[in-house]
Amino acid sequence: MLTMLGIIIGISSVIAILSVGNGLKASMTRSLDSMAGGAVTINIDQKKTNRHLTNAQLKEIADAVPIIKGATPRVTAECTAIFPRKEMNVDLEGGNEYKINEFSDGLYAGRFYTEYDVDNASEVCVIYQTVALYMFRSFDVVGKELEINYHGASRNVTIIGVLNSPDSDIENARNIISQGYADNMWVTVYVPYTLMTNKFNIPGENIISFSIYPVSGQADAAAVKVCSVAENMLDLRGENAVNVQSFASMMSMYTSILDSVTMIVALIAAISLLVGGIGVMNIMTVTVTERTREIGIRKSLGAHTSSIMLQFLIESSMITLLAGFIGMSLGFAFSKIISMASPLQAQVRASDVVMVVAISTAIGIFFGIYPAGKAARLNPIDALRTE
């Protein structure tokens, strides 16, 4: 057990660190996915062309690429909203009817704006539950009005829908309200993009940035096809003027960094495996010395050199393999404790378990080679003389 201790500590540490890294990666993936509902943003580089798309052309792109659920313009502006209580700064964010794909949690009440609202630049908006709390201290705000001001232009906009907010966000909003900071919050109000371009004269009628909503698992393929279709529409083939900016690429970069950090920390923890391996080699060398006479008797009875070597390699491998399983069990326990004691859900992957078993066996073989070779090379006459 003392010999196995270094291996046990090393394996349990590596398993715990890898599981925490996996949990962080999964949490980050969920966060990035929720930020834009899996949207992929396509930009037309205005440094390379002055061409643009229209909303009608976005619908043509959606029809031409069946692996996307729709495409919407991206139009934003900083405005102020006046409501019964006070005035608040807002980000006005415009899109067409397909923008609803960004909100995976659905609607709490009311409806999202429709194609009719977009075509007619209807003075309607959709807000989150948290925004409803900040403004009206209630979720039941469908039918209420906001006065939106942008550079002197003012419109009364009717709230037609309330989007679900996570429970944690709602609790946080209530805390902010109780502390008296609600009026200082900067919130987002979602409207048909035509309301912004037609009635507030906000640039955006000429679409140079838009989002697409790929079906699950088809983000990369959808982005490539949409860029190709857009380039054909604008006659920009080969000019690299249509670019992709996706949360998937951001996620890939962040997870790559996290994987590197996790691996470095795991390698540091694995130093104890090296120490444990040296301990195994030490105890096996002592074992060979103590069993010299036994080795001599086996050799004199016809045991092959390979048989002697295999005997000690198996013994060292079994020691490290048993230590690996004990360490793995402790690693699982540590991961479970971390999940129970923090919001992070540590995850143990099957590949990690296979790796641990392989490492344990490899350590036993590698550090058992020297003592096994020493045993195999013993002269049987000298071994039998040993007291």
Q: What is the pTM of this model?
A: 0.59
Please, are residues 231 and 242 in contact by the beta-carbon 8 Å criterion?
A: yes
pLDDT band at 387 (very low <50, low <70, confident <90, very high): low
The arithmetic mean of pLDDT across residues 68-78, rounded, is 90
Is the pLDDT confidence value at 266 over 60?
yes
Looking at residue 45, its pLDDT comes to 87
Query: Measured in whole angstroms, how far is the alpha carbon of residue 259 from the centre of its chain?
Result: 11
- Quote the pLDDT of residue 41: 85
Question: Tell me, what's the pLDDT at 85?
Answer: 64
Residue 53 DSSP label: B
Question: Which of 234, 228, 201 lies closest to 212, judged by CA?
Answer: 228
Q: Which of 182-186, 194-198, 294-298, 363-367 has the highest mean pLDDT?
A: 194-198
| Per-residue pLDDT at 89 exceeds 60 | yes
| Joined tokens for residue 44 | 């037309």
Mean pLDDT of 192-220: 86
User: What is the H or E stretch that residue 204 is in?
Assistant: none
- H runs (alpha helix) in the chain: 2-36, 55-64, 115-119, 129-136, 167-178, 193-194, 219-234, 247-269, 271-290, 292-300, 305-341, 350-376, 380-385
Q: What pLDDT digit, counting tens, does each position of 109-161 carry?
A: 999 999 999 999 999 999 999 999 999 999 999 999 999 999 888 999 999 99
Predicted pLDDT of residue 245 = 64
Which residue would you say has higher pLDDT here, 327 or 342? 327
Among 68-82, 162-176, 265-279, name the one with the lowest average pLDDT.
Answer: 265-279
Residue 25 above 80 pLDDT? no
Distance CA 346, CA 343 (A): 9
- Mean pLDDT for 94-100 is 92
Confidence of residue 34 (pLDDT cuts 50, 70, 90): low
Own/partner long-range contacts of 294-302 (Cβ < 8 Å, ≥24 apart): 295/375, 295/378, 295/380, 295/383, 296/378, 296/380, 296/381, 296/382, 296/383, 296/384, 296/385, 296/386, 297/383, 297/384, 299/378, 299/380, 299/383, 300/380, 300/384
Cα separation of 313 and 372, whole Å? 6
What's the N-to-C CA distance of the chain in angstroms?
Answer: 28
Output the average pLDDT for the chain: 84
Residues of the chain with pLDDT > 90: what percent?
Answer: 27
In Å, what is the CA distance from 326 to each residue of 1, 29, 282, 319, 332?
11, 32, 21, 11, 10
Of 245 and 263, the structure prediction assigns the larger pLDDT to: 263
